[in-house]
Amino acid sequence: MTGYAETYRRSLERPEEFWAEAAEAIDWERRWDRVLDDGRPPFFRWFAGGRLNTCWNAVDRHVAAGRGERVALIWDSPVTGQIGHFTYLELRDEVARLAGVLASLGVAKGDRVLIYMPMVPEAAFAMLACARIGAIHSVVFGGFAAHELATRIDDAKPRVILSASCGIEVNRIIPYKPLLDAAIAEARAKPEHCVILQRPMCHAELVPGRDHDWRELAAAARQAECVPVLATDPLYILYTSGTTGIPKGVVRDNGGHAVALHWSLRNIYGVQPDEVFWTASDVGWVVGHSYIVYAPLLLGCTTVMYEGKPVGTPDAGAFWRVIEQHRVRVFFTAPTAFRAIKREDPDGQLIRSRNLDQFRALFLAGERADPPTVAWAEEQLRVPVIDHWWQTETGWPIGANCLGIERLPVKRGSCTRAVPGWDIRVLDAEAEGTVRELPAGEIGALAVKLPLPPGALPTLWHDDDTFVRSYLTTFPGFYQTGDAGSIDADRYIHVMTRTDDIINVAAHRLSTGEIEEVLAAHPDVAECAVIGVADALKGQVPLGLLVLKAGIKRSADDIEREAVQLVRDRIGPVASFKTALVVAGLPKTRSGKILRGTMRRIADGELYPMPATIDDPAVLGEINAALANAGYGKRDRV
């Protein structure tokens, strides 16, 4: 078996040969003319001239191979008390009927379909149905605010919108139809049709002539066949989270996406066909696109779709119940989820109450996996805990410990090394417009040398100029990730923070992630965030916000003093860290990212918009009050 070093070297030295071999695992209606079309840089295209269908590769070919009775999708919904199983044959029939519904409404190859759905099986059917007929889907997180939904409708201009009557957040029903109606009223681009899945806990009123009942149309529809498309044709548009104004629509193509995701699940996650793989995320995020729907089905696995939370549905043992019950082999979730579990069950009693003998590995991504959380997970689960790094734009991991190639030693706080295909460098973040690579261990801007491998974004939807300006201009010849960190002498990547969160304290450049790592080591701290706030003397100084573990009775003042001393002991006076505040919670997006930029603007007394993807606005109000009580500038949001 070829090891990591040789695999990585070959992926960079002979990329066309490397990816052509990977593409042999995919069914092609017509093989490509060129593996890499580099005739119009920086707009590179993979498998140019090739034709395929992503839905065929994810569903039909497994049925054709005689594996139709294998379970493709498990839907586990603790918020409704339901569990559903769909074989590949059943999945094919559901998807083909829904594709027939879309075709009957006039949707054809290249048309856009917007999907605004909760975590129900029909959301996956919708994505695959679009892929089946060559339509381009754009999934918007269910329950998204009407204005933000309207901006995405105007940008994608969908012919049809697929939605549901409601979503469920723990024990709270969120009606979707009023939000959808308000968004359509605001949008300039009006869809011709809306197809609404009526859920029993909430009935939606349908607009005559425009709205249709999902189940009624599906029952009467003819199954549609797969429509081959060019490898370079768009599969989907996914708008970056938190975008306001004109949204940035990340485009994913069909060919490179299928090749990269099939390769990644086997080689990074170490998953084999027929195994059960679970990603606890939402189809509204890139993680849900890549590793709930497409990658597991492309490889022929069983994927789990979970409508629930890490805590509260019903308790902090929810994940372990799912892993035991469905015999999950590899699990992927966000570090935020683990911090929530650790806070509620610090001794891991709920973990030990389950039989997890078949469980093989845990992967974490979405927020930085702080070493104390990784150590706790390793101790409790006794399986490899793999921090890995990627983005909406990349579509699949760019830094990871590739278990399917060679398991490398773990360094807590590092996502291990660059994944084959990704040429990652650390560049001088202050040398804009030029490329100066930094030596090992120095913190700078993490960037990827072009061309990006298959599966990464080739551009933004109808906006090549913004694609170049946003990602390719700061460092010519490189994709700017927007993340900051270092690569050590062993080529291990340490992603510390966003480049915007590198703070300048009296001309010293410090990573907020480095300080967070120290604070997270305090025995009473469940999670934390560090932001840089304006200071008249030093330019910026760090401020720490601490969330304590459940059941901590000690004085907040004592814990705050200890946290400050911990940073001074481990990083030194250069950090100028003098203030830590205990808070009830940290404001986050629904995908678990902490809203550091918003908290910084609150602390500096700046106007700020309510983030479109915020999970709980009340937490932001509590932070506003806590910062005001501590003497920081309180301002209302815009």
Residue in the structure block whose two tokens are 């030693």: 409
Residue 583 near residue 546 (C-beta atoms within 8 A) = yes
Instruction: Reply yes or no on whether the pLDDT at 500 is more than 90.
Output: no
Amino acid making up residue 283: V
Q: Do 60 and 174 have their domain in common?
A: yes
Q: Do 550 and 414 have their domain in common?
A: no
Mean pLDDT value of segment 165-174: 92
Q: Do 406 and 508 have their domain in common?
A: no
Mean pLDDT value of segment 126-133: 98
Instruction: Reply yes or no on whether the pLDDT at 433 is more than 80.
Output: no
Within 8 A by CB and 6+ apart from 560, the residues are 546, 579, 580, 581, 582
> How does strand 34-37 pair with strand 45-48?
antiparallel
Q: What is the model's pLDDT at position 243?
A: 38
Residue 515 structural domain:
500-629
Q: What is the model's pLDDT at position 620?
A: 87
Q: What is the model's pLDDT at position 636?
A: 42
pLDDT band at residue 496 using 50, 70 and 90 as cut-offs: confident
Comparing 231-240, 450-459, 540-549, the range with the smallest average pLDDT is 540-549
Q: Which residue, of 429, 459, 485, is where some domain finishes? A: 485
Instruction: Reply yes or no on whether the pLDDT at 241 is more than 70.
Output: no
Q: Is residue 356 part of a domain?
A: no
Q: Is residue 636 part of a domain?
A: no
Q: What is the model's pLDDT at position 429?
A: 78
Q: Which residue, of 455, 485, 515, is where some domain finishes? A: 485
- Per-range mean pLDDT, top range of 139-148, 327-336, 536-545: 327-336
460 vs 348: CA distance, rounded Å: 44
Q: Which residue, of 485, 520, 545, is where some domain finishes? A: 485
By CB atoms closer than 10 A (0-12, 13-18, 19+), residue 261 is buried
Select the more confidently predicted residue: 413 or 232: 232
Could you tell me which of 185, 544, 576, 589 has the C-alpha nearest to residue 367? 589
pLDDT band at residue 401 using 50, 70 and 90 as cut-offs: very high
CATH classification of the domain holding 296 = 3.40.50.12780
Q: Do 478 and 574 have their domain in common?
A: no
- Mean pLDDT of the residues in the chain: 92
pLDDT digits 0-9 by tens, 106-129: 999 999 999 999 999 999 999 999
Q: Do 477 and 550 have their domain in common?
A: no
Instruction: Reply yes or no on whether the pLDDT at 26 is more than 90.
Output: yes
Q: Do 398 and 529 have their domain in common?
A: no
Mean pLDDT value of segment 417-427: 97
Q: Is residue 371 part of a domain?
A: no
Residue % of the chain over a pLDDT of 90: 76
Q: Do 16 and 165 have their domain in common?
A: yes
pLDDT band at residue 515 using 50, 70 and 90 as cut-offs: confident
CATH classification of the domain holding 538 = 3.30.300.30
Q: Do 52 and 76 have their domain in common?
A: yes
Within 8 A by CB and 6+ apart from 478, the residues are 425, 427, 435, 447, 448, 449, 450, 472
pLDDT band at residue 532 using 50, 70 and 90 as cut-offs: confident
Q: What is the model's pLDDT at position 281?
A: 93
Q: Is residue 513 part of a domain?
A: yes
Q: Is residue 316 part of a domain?
A: no
User: Please, which residues bridge with residue 533 across strands?
Assistant: 541
Q: Is residue 151 part of a domain?
A: yes
Residue 564 near residue 577 (C-beta atoms within 8 A) = yes
Comparing 180-189, 498-507, 532-541, 558-567, the range with the smallest average pLDDT is 498-507
Total structural domains within the chain? 2
Q: Do 84 and 232 have their domain in common?
A: yes
pLDDT digits 0-9 by tens, 252-311: 999 999 999 999 999 999 999 999 999 999 999 999 999 999 999 999 999 999 999 999
Q: Is residue 340 part of a domain?
A: no
84 vs 82: CA distance, rounded Å: 7
Q: What is the model's pLDDT at position 635?
A: 42
The secondary structure of residue 410, as a DSSP letter, is P
* Helix (H/G/I), strand (E/B), else coil: 197: strand
Q: What is the model's pLDDT at position 504?
A: 66
Instruction: Reply yes or no on whether the pLDDT at 514 is more than 90.
Output: no
- Residue 454 tokens read as 């298959």
Q: Do 47 and 132 have their domain in common?
A: yes
Mean pLDDT value of segment 476-497: 94
Q: Do 123 and 41 have their domain in common?
A: yes
Could you tell me which of 246, 245, 285, 350 has the C-alpha nearest to residue 119? 285
Q: What is the model's pLDDT at position 637?
A: 36
Instruction: Reply yes or no on whether the pLDDT at 4 is more than 70.
Output: yes
Instruction: Reply yes or no on whether the pLDDT at 172 is more than 80.
Output: yes
Select the more confidently predicted residue: 263 or 338: 263
Instruction: Reply yes or no on whether the pLDDT at 508 is more than 70.
Output: no
pLDDT band at residue 543 using 50, 70 and 90 as cut-offs: very high
Within 8 A by CB and 6+ apart from 489, the residues are 440, 441
Instruction: Reply yes or no on whether the pLDDT at 221 is more than 90.
Output: yes
Q: What is the model's pLDDT at position 574?
A: 67
Select the more confidently predicted residue: 594 or 94: 94
Q: Do 461 and 531 have their domain in common?
A: no
Q: Is residue 530 part of a domain?
A: yes
Comparing 70-79, 196-205, 430-439, the range with the smallest average pLDDT is 430-439
Q: What is the model's pLDDT at position 36?
A: 98
The size of the chain, in residues, is 638
* pTM (two decimals): 0.86
Comparing 126-140, 361-375, 466-480, 603-617, the range with the smallest average pLDDT is 603-617
